[in-house]
Structure 1
Amino acid sequence: MNASGTLTQQSPDADALTARDLYRFYRAGEEETLALRGVALEVRRGESVAVIGPSGSGKSTLLACLAGLDEPDGGTVHIGGERISHRPEAERARVRARRIGVLLQTGNLIAHLDIGANIRLARTAAPGASKQSIAELLEQVGLGHRARALPQQLAGGELARAGLAVALANDPDILLADEPTGELDGVTEQRILSLLRERAQGGDGVLLVTHSSEAVKIADRVITLRDGRITS
């Protein structure tokens, strides 16, 4: 941010994502839980990275901190060279809207808006961030004929692709996905993974939190998280 408070543009040569020494702890009464213990990672542009580990290892906490949905208690996160951590929520939201596509298990679609309107709404947070039309984006995910459909009118595989389209609405530096194929059949899973792989090959960073062996196969690197630490 410059002296006038305007968010500065960062170098396109910067990594899609860089995290350094992330710590996150939670207190319940006198008990303290360390969810992240000095996690450091980077995702280069054009690279896909899978984060694996048992339940309770800190994967969801890590994803929330990387997306700026939660604040680490220590360490920093940069997206495309721009710091998102330790800033007011309004500033984190602006960075997230312009630079991050987030695909969560709970979904990112608003039920009373059709798919095209969901994408338009996402773009109001970062006007001009994408040069791709809504029709082109929907064609890319195989939903060119479903722009006017409401989320409840879509089948499971279509819902997953619609959520991906919304996550990609602003042509983000990095896509962060939490179990993006967890509830899908094998054929639909392969289609979603193919789309994610194409996105990475096109120059974006992709980070997947996953338990899927098929999702791991598309990753350039695999990071194992256990007890809040990277073990491999």
Structure 2
Amino acid sequence: MALAARELYRFFRAGEEETLALRGVSLEVGRGETVAVVGPSGAGKSTLLSCLAGLDEPSGGEVRVSGVRISHRPETERAQLRARHIGVLLQSRNLVPHLSVLDNVRLAQSSVRGRPGVPALDLLEQVGLTGRAHALPQQLSGGELARAGLAVALANSPDVLLADEPTGELDGDTERRILGMLRARAGLGCAVLIVTHSREAVRVADRVIALDDGRASDVAA
């Protein structure tokens, strides 16, 4: 199994108040599968994605990627495992503002040594950004930013791709293009999980998981 989470709990404390963001969430995503996670704002979707990516530590439970436990490790170890196995596309995008699109991809690739990957320019060609390789992020349109962020997320040919609202600010044509790219990556054996409010993203997913009040349930087809 490419991605497996078991009984994830996440608690946040603010003074004497305690918020339960995740309440025993378990899920699996297989290689070549696209899963959409849906739910209202505040349901715990972004917290779940952060725990799955090793960006945040669950208060309880564990996350495994390609059979390797990523949770409950020092941040340096989680970062190494994330760079090698996981591509992350966040709402705020994953681009360094002062670097060109090409250098952003090269920076992501430099974090993993000794692993053959797709040349950075070839990856930009795949997402249709060859002509914008030397542009800075602030010079890109919304659709170009989404594609550049996707190129960075795919820089190391990850086993798992996690996307947080990847089409939230895009027009319909660009949304379909980005979702098509995600599906194409799944077709190459990547496990894809999309946190989304988009009906189109739900439509193209193989399976849908609903998150509500920190609890997950499968949505009937």
TM-score normalised to structure 2 length: 0.96
Of the three residues 149, 157, 169, the one matched with 1:171 is: 157
Partner residue, 2:85: 99
Matches within 5 A, 1:147-226: 147-226=133-212
Matches within 5 A, 1:1-232: 15-232=1-218
Q: Say if 1:193 and 1:150 are closer, same or farther in 2 by CA, change over 3 A.
A: same
Q: Say if 1:47 and 1:224 are closer, same or farther in 2 by CA, change over 3 A.
A: same
Tell me if the contact between 1:130 and 1:169 (Cα under 8 Å) persists in the aligned partners.
Answer: no
Q: Secondary structure at the match of 2:106?
A: helix
Tell me if the contact between 1:102 and 1:176 (Cα under 8 Å) persists in the aligned partners.
Answer: yes
**Partner letter of residue 33 of structure 1?**
T
Q: Say if 1:170 and 1:59 are closer, same or farther in 2 by CA, change over 3 A.
A: same
Residues 173-201 of structure 1 show CA distances to partners (whole Å, capped at 9, x for unaligned) of 11100000000011100100000010001
Q: Secondary structure at the match of 1:225?
A: strand
Tell me if the contact between 2:117 and 2:155 (Cα under 8 Å) persists in the aligned partners.
Answer: no
Alignment RMSD: 0.9
Q: Distance in 2 between matches of 1:129 and 1:189?
A: 31
Q: Secondary structure at the match of 1:62?
A: helix
**Partner letter of residue 73 of structure 2?**
R
Give structure 2 stretches of 5+ with no counterpart: none
**Partner letter of residue 21 of structure 2?**
A
**Partner letter of residue 90 of structure 1?**
T
Q: Distance in 1 between matches of 2:207 and 2:116?
A: 28
Q: What count of residue pairs does the alignment treat as equivalent?
A: 218
Offset, 1:131: 2.5
Offset, 1:16: 1.4
Q: Distance in 2 between matches of 1:194 and 1:204?
A: 14
TM-score normalised to structure 1 length: 0.92
Residues 63-106 of structure 1 show CA distances to partners (whole Å, capped at 9, x for unaligned) of 01000010001100011111100000000000001111000001
Q: Distance in 2 between matches of 1:29 and 1:157?
A: 41
Give structure 1 stretches of 5+ with no counterpart: 1-14
Offset, 1:229: 0.5
Offset, 1:231: 2.7
Offset, 1:27: 1.3
Offset, 1:49: 0.2
Offset, 1:146: 1.7
**Partner letter of residue 128 of structure 2?**
G
Q: Distance in 1 between matches of 2:170 and 2:126?
A: 19
Tell me if the contact between 1:129 and 1:171 (Cα under 8 Å) persists in the aligned partners.
Answer: no
Residues 170-229 of structure 1 show CA distances to partners (whole Å, capped at 9, x for unaligned) of 111111000000000111001000000100011100000000000111110000001100
Q: Secondary structure at the match of 2:37?
A: strand
**Partner letter of residue 193 of structure 1?**
L
